[in-house]
Amino acid sequence: MFKNIVPVASGKGGVGKSTVSANLALALQAKGLKVGLMDADVYGPSIPTILGITEKPVTENGKLRPVEKFGIKVISTAFFVPGNEAVIWRGPMLHKMIQDFFSAVDWGDLDILIVDLPPGTGDVQLSLCQTIPVTGAVIVSTPQEVAWNVAQKAILMFDKLNAPILGIIENMSYFSCSHCHEKEEIFSRGGAKKAAERLEIPYLGEVPIVTAIRKTADEGDPVVHSDPSSEQAKNFIQIADNLVQQLKNQKEKGSSKKAPIKISPAGQTPLEIIWNDGAVSKFDAKKLRAACPCAACVNEITGQRTIKLESVPADIKPAAIHSVGRYALQIVWSDGHSTGLYGFDYLRNMN
């Protein structure tokens, strides 16, 4: 039924995840793919509004038939909950909703199902990844440090649920004036891209903050469909191209990536890593703490390190070490610092 199931997630609300989901689905459909869009954002379902859908799904042969708009099959919690009512559901009800959206809906054969998740790391995300064979997740973040720090929590959650990260999208990357065409970096720029590079996670692309994206979503005809030749539509189309390539890469990927097979216990110094190619790396704890690549330790704009080696306690130790999927280690240090994700390539290049 589904060749690929791709949830679109964010660590926090307000980053434009649903607008990205809708335009990404349209960009994939424009490539000739059979696309479905599941609006699982229970507490704030907005996909029907963004796509201008006013009709409801109907039941045929005992199953719900999703609403079709712009060539995309759509199902949403908004179809079943009155717009003026708040959704107050506990975990079991959310779990049943996710199951019904898959088993009780006649999706037909789809190349890709995009799932617009609610922000955060709650019951909907858990139910999805624990009951459905997710191909991989896409993370949406805005450029500033606070948004990226929260987005990392979503990455860690998907890793714990054995769902790979297909890529990161930086939304609201810059403001482009419609009159003078000058670009203003309102929320800074490139933070998500730099973080993706540090973690060796694919960077799918950036989307500007422009009136046209907001206006077309409010009018129910997203920019990828209403103005496909515009710069912002081309941004989404390029992101869709990059996502398709990542899906291909994932299927073709073997075990050639360098990854740890053994890590010395927390509290031990120096930290020793044995890699799957037989190489052994040893890290001085103080130097490794000073080399933390997170946004709190490196200025994202200048690239200058904000933590100095001499400021690191001489007796610093890793209090806990967690493997983050196939790309990084999260080290919780004895000084309380825990936001650093050390990419495998980053660690290899340090030795």
Based on the domain organization, do 129 and 169 belong to the same domain? Answer: yes
Beta bridge mates, 168: 139, 203
Cα distance between residue 231 and residue 73, in whole Å:
26
Instruction: Provide the strand spans (E) within the chain.
Output: 5-9, 35-39, 58-60, 63-65, 67-69, 72-76, 112-116, 137-141, 165-170, 175-176, 183-184, 203-206, 260-263, 271-275, 280-283, 318-324, 328-333, 341-343
Q: Which bin fits 169, alpha (ψ -120 to 50), beta or left (φ > 0)?
A: beta
Cα distance between residue 138 and residue 171, in whole Å:
12
Of 199, 231, 252, the domain-final residue: 252
Element containing residue 146 per DSSP (H, E): helix 145-160
Based on the domain organization, do 82 and 211 belong to the same domain? Answer: yes
Three-state DSSP state, 260: strand
Domain extent for 266: 260-350
Residues 135 and 170 sit within 8 Å (Cβ to Cβ)? no
Amino acid, res. 184: E
Cα distance between residue 151 and residue 159, in whole Å:
13
pLDDT value for 254: 47
Residue found by looking up tokens 């912002």 in the block? 232
- Residues with pLDDT less than 50, the chain: 254-255
For residue 78, what is the domain's CATH number?
3.40.50.300
Number of helices (H), then strands (E), belonging to the chain: the values are 11, 18
Based on the domain organization, do 244 and 279 belong to the same domain? Answer: no
Peptide bond into 92 cis (omega under 30): no
Residues 11 and 118 sit within 8 Å (Cβ to Cβ)? no
Residues 302 and 254 sit within 8 Å (Cβ to Cβ)? no
Q: What is the percentage of the chain residues whose pLDDT exceeds 70? A: 90
Based on the domain organization, do 231 and 271 belong to the same domain? Answer: no
Based on the domain organization, do 124 and 248 belong to the same domain? Answer: yes
Residues in the chain: 351
Based on the domain organization, do 45 and 158 belong to the same domain? Answer: yes
Based on the domain organization, do 218 and 297 belong to the same domain? Answer: no
Based on the domain organization, do 47 and 122 belong to the same domain? Answer: yes
CA atoms within 13 A on the CB side of 101: 33
pLDDT digits (tens, 9 = 90+) for 168-199: 999 988 877 777 777 777 766 767 787 787 77
pLDDT digits (tens, 9 = 90+) for 6-24: 999 887 777 889 999 999 9
Backbone angles phi, psi at 72, to 5 degrees: -110, 140
CA 317 to chain centre: 31
CA-wise closest residue to 44 among 117, 97, 101:
117
For residue 319, what is the domain's CATH number?
3.30.2020.30
Number of domains observed in the structure of the chain: 2
Of 252, 276, 310, the domain-final residue: 252
Based on the domain organization, do 210 and 99 belong to the same domain? Answer: yes
Three-state DSSP state, 198: helix
Cα distance between residue 122 and residue 5, in whole Å:
19
Residues 343 and 328 sit within 8 Å (Cβ to Cβ)? yes
Based on the domain organization, do 242 and 296 belong to the same domain? Answer: no
Based on the domain organization, do 79 and 208 belong to the same domain? Answer: yes
CA-wise closest residue to 232 among 27, 7, 87:
27
Based on the domain organization, do 219 and 98 belong to the same domain? Answer: yes
